Amino acid sequence: MTFCLLIIICIVIAACLLLYRFQEKFIFLNGNPLDKKYPFLFSNTFEEVFINTDGNNYINALHFKLPKPKGVVLFCHGNKGDLTKWGERISYLLEYNYEVLVFDYRNYGKSTGNYNENSMYCDALSVYNHLKKDFKEENIVVYGFSLGGTFATRIAAENTPKELVLEAPFYNFKKAAKFKFRWTPTFLLKYKFRSDKDIAKVTSPITIFHGNKDKTTCFKQSKRLLEQNISTKNKFVAIEGATHHDVKEFLLYKDHLKEILER
């Protein structure tokens, strides 16, 4: 009996060590790196940009252009896939006469740098500062999907964009991990991603879209996230029947997004 218990304890310890050592592989599902000369091909007009960050690192972004835009949407994408996927995924936003800039996180696609929570926040702020060279803040909408919500929230917490839009965000990373995998030993997580703290500092209007059938990020925790900001300008839009991946297909989402972008 004692021997079996010892074996179980050794297995648990080994599993914990593996989780701690390789947790980035479970969090950041970035696929294979892209060569810097890899040619992106999309039907919409775009400009590829490289934005310098810490050291000699840079963030790769795609800026989809329009002739006479109302403004620009800075899109912070989810944890899975790089710009080869997200460049197409965000194209529907152009229909609202807003340009879109979407960027890859460090170590995604062509972006360089090692995973690091503080550095990733700094990267996102560098991308926002890049946009401010050509757009007034009142014409910039910051949009975060899933994991991207934590970076979008940090950007809005330290700036004053027209609006912060979050789609299927999480409250913080510890709660997100517990929701997805109940038995996650969260004390081993290197990443905090405290969106709940950052959102309290946001002064721009906030809109959160979340499907009530989402199995990836928690619908109830998303509501709690918005409650951390006391502004009466905020709105939580519950999308009945939507999952983590199809919120944008629902008419209620389209109507509210149109209202935001037409203000």
Q: Is 143 helix (H, G, I), strand (E, B) or coil?
A: strand
| Domain of residue 30, residue span | 2-261
pTM score above 0.85? yes
The pLDDT > 90 percentage for the chain reads 81
pLDDT tens digit sequence for 147-192: 999 999 999 999 999 999 999 999 999 999 999 877 777 777 899 9
pLDDT of residue 1: 57
Whether residue 18 has pLDDT greater than 80 = no
pLDDT band for position 104 (cuts 50, 70, 90):
very high
What are the phi and psi torsion angles at 83 (to 5°)? -65, -20
Q: Return d(Cα 195, Cα 224) in angstroms, integer.
A: 11
pLDDT tens digit sequence for 108-121: 999 999 999 999 99
pLDDT of residue 4: 59
Q: DSSP E strands: which ranges in 25-170?
A: 46-52, 58-64, 71-76, 98-103, 140-145, 163-167
Mean pLDDT of 238-254: 97
Task: Please list the alpha-helical segments (H only) found in the chain.
Answer: 2-27, 83-89, 117-132, 148-157, 173-180, 195-198, 219-227, 251-261
- If one counts the domains in the chain, the total is 1
The enclosing domain of 156 has a CATH number of 3.40.50.1820
